[in-house]
Amino acid sequence: MDDIPRAPHSRPDLAETWALVAAMEQSSRAAYRAAGKRIRQQVADYEHIGIVELAEIHRLLDSELKQLEQVQNRLLHDGMLAAAAAAALGWRGRRREPEAERLLVRHLLDTPQKDGLNLSARLWRIHAGAARDLKSIVDVAVQRGWDAEHTLQRTLKLTPELRQALEEAGAGAVAKRLEAGLLTNPNNAAMKFRRVLRTEINRAHFERQREIARNTPGVVGMRFMLGPQHPRVDICDEHAAADLYGMGQGVYPLDLIPYPAHPNTFSYTEIVKVEDMGTPNPTVGAVRKAMAEEADALLGRAAAIEPAATADLQSIAAANRARLAGLEHRFKGRDSLLRKIEAQMASRRETPAEIGRQINDALRYTVLLDERDFVKQYRQIQEQLAARGYQTIGVSNTWRNDAVYKGINTTVSRNGQMFEVQFHTEQSFRLKHNDLHKLYEEARDRATHPERRAQLRRQMAELSRQIPNPPGIRSIRAKVRSR
């Protein structure tokens, strides 16, 4: 559970709650694995899957998923109860109140949320949906096998397609796919339950903390705090920075604090007394500060390798009748780097430092090649870069008729430091920096309507279609850079 943060030293209640989340997730995962293993073993024992066997497998899946639902229900109930109890650790000298904790958890389990479902109904939906999806896996595989068998009887010819269909309909293959459907396929039941488990255990802790606060003299509200490993800017940052009630940054009246802001969150709350009102929120700005520090670090590392990289590329380009273009723009702008870090953080749950390790264009170069000798020049330059100790660790070739952008983009590394080298013809370079650039900037703007964005992509593809492809360009193979 690497993504569960370490609680602040001043919050033993959070340390207890988040350790509880980790333990409950481990138990939950073990229960899903055990169920997946039982399903796989029982289905793999079938020699043949016909109508009778298919019905038996359906009953097996219903039974296993029902048992799994009961196990996970107990886990969630016990986790929420323990988290409610842990809330007392945040108050000096406060004793547990088991009856109040039990009533609170019962209320949270039974009360419908925004979608009209209480927690029990939500868990039933997760596991009923999983049973339905697993049955579909069996049904589709077996139907393909039946169709293949019927076709084989008529044709007496085992084609590769028929062989694959028969293999996929075999009990062993179906059994493995069922186990994957429960545990590893995208949006699987284990992942869905983990999201509920995290959210509701943290909610139980928060609600008990709020109950205690209501009965504590001097408490005027609660402050919304960003989690210690808050990975990216989101709605939590808005709640933590806002001062909607004139009480201080991120401070809300007890009944109005917007917690939890979203599922799976490790943002938390702190009690605010009269003397704390008006103070800044210490967790606000931490992510943006980390983003800025990472952008500066990337530019610093780029500056360190730039003199040697520029000299080598100029020398190699000249030796191969090529030239560097746009050298004045070899460093990516700081604002552009910050936008890139933020955009990638929005799509992946990673820290600025983790994102920074994957960014290759803080330093970037463009080499212009002759259209007729493009491939020959490219290969000669690659050989000479390698001879000087550079490694090309990533290659993207977008020279194709339907591309919105035509060029070869490479990631080059030396002593662990990456930079980008693009290869263009004179015509593709001019287009990229003129008409194509204007359309691209509008297309990437988040405010651009999807229909307009699709129209812009068509316009870019039409412009790029006017650029002739260099002879043999498809012989330059893509190379995926490992993360």
Where are the domains positioned within the chain? 12-200, 217-282, 287-475
* pLDDT at residue 148 in the model: 42
Q: Label the pairing between strands 268-273 and 323-325.
A: unpaired
Q: What is the pLDDT of residue 35?
A: 86
pLDDT given for residue 128 in this prediction: 80
Q: What is the pLDDT of residue 371?
A: 93
Q: Please state whether the peptide bond connecting residue 282 to the residue before it is cis, i.e. omega within 30 degrees of 0.
A: no
Kindly report the pTM of this predicted structure.
0.63
Q: Give residue 135's pLDDT.
A: 74
Report the candidate in 187, 189, 245, 174 with the shortest Cα–Cα distance to residue 72. 189
CATH superfamily of 287-475: Beta Polymerase, domain 2 (3.30.460.10)
Q: What is the pLDDT of residue 1?
A: 54
- pLDDT score of 259: 93
Write the secondary structure of the chain as one string of H (helix), E (strand) and C (coil). CCCCCCCCCCCHHHHHHHHHHHHHHHHHHHHHHHHHHHHHHHHHCCCCCCHHHHHHHHHHHHHHHHHHHHHHHHHHHHHHHHHHHHHHHHCCCCCCCHHHHHHHHHHHHHCCCCCCCCHHHHHHHHHHHHHHHHHHHHHHHHHHHHHHHHHHHHHCCCCHHHHHHHHHHCHHHHHHHHHHHHHCCCCCHHHHHHHHHHHHHHHHHHHHHHHHHHCCCCEEEEEEECCCCCCCCCHHHHHHHCCCCCCCCCEECCCCCCCCCCCCCCCEEEEEEHHHCCCCCCCCCHHHHHHHHHHHHHHHHHHHHHHHHHHHHHHHHHHCCCEEECHHHCECCHHHHHHHHHHHHHHCCCCHHHHHCCCCCCEEEEEECCCCCHHHHHHHHHHHHHHCCCEEEEEEECCCCCCCCCCEEEEEEECCEEEEEEEECHHHHHHHHCHHHHHHHHHHCCCCCHHHHHHHHHHHHHHHHCCCCCCCHHHCCCECCCC
| Per-residue pLDDT tens listing for the chain (483 residues) | 567 889 999 999 999 999 999 999 999 999 988 888 888 888 788 777 777 777 888 888 888 888 988 999 999 999 999 999 999 999 888 889 999 999 999 999 998 877 788 887 888 788 887 777 777 766 666 565 544 444 444 454 544 554 454 455 455 666 677 777 777 777 788 888 889 999 999 999 999 999 999 999 999 999 999 998 876 778 898 899 899 998 989 999 999 999 998 888 999 999 999 888 888 888 877 777 888 999 999 999 999 999 999 999 999 999 999 999 999 999 999 999 998 888 787 666 677 888 899 999 999 999 999 999 999 999 999 999 999 999 999 999 988 877 788 899 999 999 889 999 999 999 888 888 777 777 877 877 777 788 888 888 888 888 888 888 999 999 999 988 776
The pLDDT, as a whole number, for residue 432 is 81
Residue 158's pLDDT is what? Answer: 44
Per the CB < 8 A criterion, the answer to whether 248 and 223 are in contact is: yes
Per-residue pLDDT, 483: 63
Rounded-to-integer distance, Cα 451 and Cα 463, Å: 19
